[in-house]
Each structure stands twice: as C-alpha cells, then as structure tokens.
C-alpha cells in the first residue's frame, strides 16, 4: 500500500511542517508526470542542446524564426497537458490554508488549472505572447492559429518534444517558416511571455517572491534542482531568516547543503498523502 510504503517520509514531512505555514516552490519535476519534459537529469546536468538565449532571440531574426518554428510544433503538447496528483494536492493544501502560498518556476499554468490561487510565476507563462514592439499581450492559441495558417507545410511533421514547448526540429524545416506578426501592431518581434535563459526575472515578480518568503514560516521545494539563481536565492533567503528548508526532489539540488530534510520519493505520490494527513 502506498501509505505503508511512504509512511516514514510522510511522518518526516509532517514533523517538520507541524504548526508552520510553509511556502511551496515548484520546478519542472512536478510537471514531468503530466508529460512535460524537464531540462536536467538527476545530477542537475542540463540535457540536450543549449536553450535559446535571450540576447540571441532579440538580436537575430533567424533565431526568432527558429524558435517559433519549433514552438509551433511543441505547443499542442503543452496546451493539452493536465494537472497531475501533485498539482491537485498542493491546490487542496492551499484551499485548506495549510500552506501559505505557491511559487513556481514552471511556465505551463498547471497549478492554475489545478485550482491554486495567486500563483507567483517566476518565469512567466507559455500561454501568453508578448510583443516587444508595442508591449501588448496575446493568447498563445491565437498566435498558434496564425502560424498554422501561414505554415501549412509543417502540418503533420513529427518532432521530438523538448522542455518548455520546444521541439527537436530538422533545420531544413525552418528556412521557409513565416514568423507570426503581432495582432495589435503588426510587429514581428513576438516573444513568449516567459523568462529566457540570460534574461532577468521581472522586478515586480522577484519582489512578490521575496515578500512571500519573508511572510512564510518555512519553504518546501518540490521538483526543482534549484540550479536557476531565481529559485536558489529564495532558499538562501529562507535559511538566512532561520526558517526550515525542505525538498522533495529526485536527484541533486543546488541547495543540498542547506536542506533540513530531503526526500526523493515521487512528488505525485507523496503530496497527495500529505494532503490527506493533518499536520
């Protein structure tokens, strides 16, 4: 029985969280059971090719063409992904006021879909598109329909899914790709409303995350290697404030030396049990 198998780690979690309102920070590992690939292996080493850098995306039209060609094929899988038991358990814990809030590194909106409220999206959302010329936002599905209409030659092309809605697409398919233009101003510098590698988290978002850490009585990390500074700095802050830092993560994290407790059981098994056990 899962309860017997996980009784010891659940008891450890309950002991550390008893009487405290923990903030939860989630990363890609919570969404892999929903079919969304993550960036890193169990040693925290990045898989596959180097992701698109922000500076390259801004400077090179061919980089934007490459990004959107691959993203057009990767979007359906992100759009169709559904919350798993771990997302649902965190939504239940928040609804019962057993956790103080939720910060996520993920850009898939699965926490919102599960019913979590006021989620702090450190890295934005793939479900929105930002125009870098007029600063207006559009729904991602609207841009998807534009791309599909302008690039029918890609219909039915099979590409291997990569993290964050990317795909491994043969470069020969990219040269003909028509980049979508902004529905508001006609500009061609559309960008997913996410934080690229090499880009800073928005100041307002970083400030919200900092306040959430200051108001929390502890931090529980779920499914993150914490290799990104935007997440690791929150762990450093919670320890600087003398509060407990816990993690449910399969493999190495950047904060291993700071952790008061680390569990490597699957989060989609542990968190539902935690939601069903008072603490």
Check whether 108 is labelled as a binding-site residue: yes
Q: Which of 266, 279, 251 is nearest to 42 (CA)?
A: 251
Check whether 235 is labelled as a binding-site residue: no
Check whether 94 is labelled as a binding-site residue: no
Strand partners, 25: 103, 221
Check whether 225 is labelled as a binding-site residue: yes
Strand partners, 247: 221, 262
Check whether 233 is labelled as a binding-site residue: no
Answer yes or no: are the C-beta atoms of 29 and 250 closer than 8 Å. yes
Q: Strands 261-263, 245-248: parallel, antiparallel or unpaired by DSSP?
A: parallel
CA separation (Å) from 183 to 58, 61, 213?
Answer: 19, 18, 38
Residue 215, classed as helix, strand or coil, is helix
* DSSP type of residue 190: E
Check whether 185 is labelled as a binding-site residue: yes
Alpha helices in the chain (DSSP H): 2-5, 7-17, 54-59, 61-80, 85-95, 110-114, 140-150, 203-215, 229-240, 267-275
Structure tokens at 265: 């059981």
Check whether 200 is labelled as a binding-site residue: no
Check whether 45 is labelled as a binding-site residue: no
Answer yes or no: are the C-beta atoms of 140 and 126 closer than 8 Å. yes
Backbone angles phi, psi at 137, to 5 degrees: -110, 150
Check whether 198 is labelled as a binding-site residue: no
* DSSP type of residue 243: -
Check whether 224 is labelled as a binding-site residue: yes
Point out the residues that are catalytic.
Answer: 123
Cβ within 8 Å of residue 165, ≥6 positions away: 71, 74, 75, 77, 78, 107, 126, 192
Task: Find the Cα–Cα–Cα–Cα dihedral 3, 8, 10, 16, rounded to 10°.
Answer: 170
Check whether 64 is labelled as a binding-site residue: no
What residue numbers does the annotated binding site for NAD(+) cover?
105-108, 223-225, 249-251, 267
What residue numbers does the annotated binding site cover?
105-108, 131, 134, 182, 185, 223-225, 249-251, 267
What residue numbers does the annotated binding site for Zn(2+) cover?
131, 134, 182, 185
């Amino acid at each position: 029985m899962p309860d017997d198998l996980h009784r010891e780690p659940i008891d450890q979690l309950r002991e550390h969280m008893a009487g405290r309102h923990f903030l939860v920070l989630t990363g890609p590992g919570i969404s892999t059971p929903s079919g969304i690939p993550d960036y890193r292996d169990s040693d925290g080493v990045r898989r596959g090719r180097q992701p698109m850098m922000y500076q390259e995306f801004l400077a090179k039209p061919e980089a934007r063409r490459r990004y959107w060609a691959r993203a057009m094929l990767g979007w359906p899988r992100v759009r169709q992904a559904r919350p798993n038991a771990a997302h649902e358990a965190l939504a239940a814990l928040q609804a019962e006021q057993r956790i103080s809030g939720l910060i996520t590194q993920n850009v898939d909106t699965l926490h919102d879909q599960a019913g979590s409220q006021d989620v702090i999206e450190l890295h934005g959302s793939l479900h929105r598109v930002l125009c870098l010329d007029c600063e207006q936002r559009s729904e991602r599905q609207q841009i998807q329909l534009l791309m599909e209409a302008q690039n029918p030659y890609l219909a039915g092309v099979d590409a291997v899914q990569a993290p964050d809605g990317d795909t491994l697409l043969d470069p020969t398919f990219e040269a003909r790709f028509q980049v979508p233009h902004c529905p508001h101003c006609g500009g061609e510098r559309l960008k997913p409303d996410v934080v690229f590698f090499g880009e800073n988290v928005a100041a307002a978002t970083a400030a919200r995350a900092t306040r959430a850490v200051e108001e929390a009585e502890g931090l529980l990390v779920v499914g993150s290697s914490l290799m990104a500074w935007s997440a690791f700095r929150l762990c450093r802050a919670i320890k600087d404030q003398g509060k407990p830092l816990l993690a449910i993560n399969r493999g190495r994290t950047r904060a291993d030396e700071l952790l008061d407790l680390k569990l490597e059981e699957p989060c989609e098994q542990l968190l539902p049990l935690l939601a069903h056990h008072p603490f």
